[in-house]
Structure 1
């Protein structure tokens, strides 16, 4: 069966919104362009953007379900981001110079018993991925459908926050790709590891509230993994609808 690149998504501000793309230029050793370029550090963080730090340094959906319902649109020319949420008026701002506007807009989603959002930080030549390397997350649409069947109703793909969605694979086939390379359009990616999941998957991206026990559903397969982490080993353009081939 032909495998295709069904969807491309980036997340300009870590845990604060998703954005669809029709194409992207991938570069060796880099994330999807502008993916997790910024992050919101909390009051207990010492992140300054100079190096990779774990996600525990940032405000994120695992601790604040309301963040899950944010969508984003980045203007690459101006560096401005527009955020939308069903419980807020839209916010357009510059993360580099107007981080306080984001804190005021989204800070209310952080539970009182959690470290509060403090400042916006931009990665210096890095994206704030959850991996220690500059990763691109690859999701299998068939695995997503398998989880939907297990919980008994449709689920938003944004629970997983994958960058690339591949269609045409068997459920969980992506796990067999670890240690192999995959070509998408002009680019080649190395599949490095599986992605272990957390409570952020319980967040409904339409409402910003927790509902389904996604980790329990994954437990029924004997793991809590969904998607795989890849690194770019050959630069090139990828487009929605491109053929995908394991090498």
Structure 2
């Protein structure tokens, strides 16, 4: 097995970027989902209720995150000194508000009052304690620093669909090639290059998988979620991919060997 592709998501629920390698820091992949969008009630905003966010692209230039908002232009995201508690799922955590220009442009695009916020180094959000006994932190990702998916599983799913979908529907960080379909169900520990990953839970999927990343529109037929639900439903929900945590700082790259350590 090997790493087929790697992705970063500088802003939660905006378009991700394909990268050739990334470095792990204390949060997870460096720069991954340190930015988020909130509404007027300080609640997180995602493609679940704003599918058009898929059309807002991101980039990292000179260690700065930029966003390109249709009809508005490109903006550099800059944290200010204004801080407040914001909510992502059940967690409240301290975040710094972004500069007004980008937030105002995104508000016009969405037709609603939204704000970019940033998770600073001194803000701590804990990975779910019922899954990971160590006190580990996570960024604004849904719950864990990493999502690992298997290309063969997507290929098998696509054989069941009238209209095949791309892996980016599932927003992974690491895509593995060379495994059997759904082999990831049995992975508990992977060595990726020199890095050790613990795969702590299956990833339950939601309506975001029905959003076309190119158009920002939800599929009227609810695919591929509907088909997944016919044969991939478990106590954890309709699953595709595995949530993971890394064990140490380091770098992984496309092409790195992937070894299943579960059976050793």
Give the direction of change, closer, same or farther, for the CA distance of 1:222–1:24 in structure 2 (3 Å limit). Answer: closer
Alpha-carbon distance in structure 2 between the residues aligned to 1:194 and 1:215: 15
Alpha-carbon distance in structure 2 between the residues aligned to 1:195 and 1:108: 33
Equivalent residue, structure 1, for 2:24: 26
Equivalent residue, structure 1, for 2:259: 245
Equivalent residue, structure 2, for 1:128: 140
- Tell me the C-alpha RMSD between the 2 structures: 2.0
Give the direction of change, closer, same or farther, for the CA distance of 1:88–1:4 in structure 2 (3 Å limit). Answer: farther
Q: Deviations over 1:143-175 (max 9, x none)?
A: 112222222223122211111111111111111
Give the direction of change, closer, same or farther, for the CA distance of 1:4–1:42 in structure 2 (3 Å limit). Answer: same
TM-score normalised per structure 2: 0.77
Equivalent residue, structure 2, for 1:232: 246
Distance apart, 1:107 and its partner CA: 2.7
Give the direction of change, closer, same or farther, for the CA distance of 1:76–1:226 in structure 2 (3 Å limit). Answer: farther
Give the counterpart of 1:194 among 182, 199, 202.
Answer: 202
Indicate conservation of the 8 Å contact 2:15/2:56, yes or no. Answer: yes
Distance apart, 1:184 and its partner CA: 0.6
Equivalent residue, structure 2, for 1:68: 54
Indicate conservation of the 8 Å contact 2:154/2:167, yes or no. Answer: yes
Question: Any runs of at least 4 consecutive aligned residues in structure 1 with deviations exceeding 6 A, and if so which?
Answer: none
Partner of 1:121: helix, strand, or coil? strand
Give the direction of change, closer, same or farther, for the CA distance of 1:146–1:71 in structure 2 (3 Å limit). Answer: farther
Indicate conservation of the 8 Å contact 2:169/2:209, yes or no. Answer: yes
Indicate conservation of the 8 Å contact 2:2/2:256, yes or no. Answer: yes
Alpha-carbon distance in structure 2 between the residues aligned to 1:107 and 1:35: 23
Which consecutive residues of structure 1, in runs of 5 or more, have no partner in the other structure? 46-56
Aligned positions of 1:1-247 closer than 5 A? 3-27=1-25, 29-45=26-42, 57-77=43-63, 79=64, 81-84=65-68, 87-97=70-80, 98-108=98-108, 110=110, 116-117=113-114, 119-125=115-121, 126-131=138-143, 134-177=144-187, 180-211=188-219, 212-223=222-233, 224-247=238-261
Equivalent residue, structure 2, for 1:51: none
Distance apart, 1:24 and its partner CA: 1.4
Distance apart, 1:39 and its partner CA: 0.6
Indicate conservation of the 8 Å contact 1:30/1:231, yes or no. Answer: no
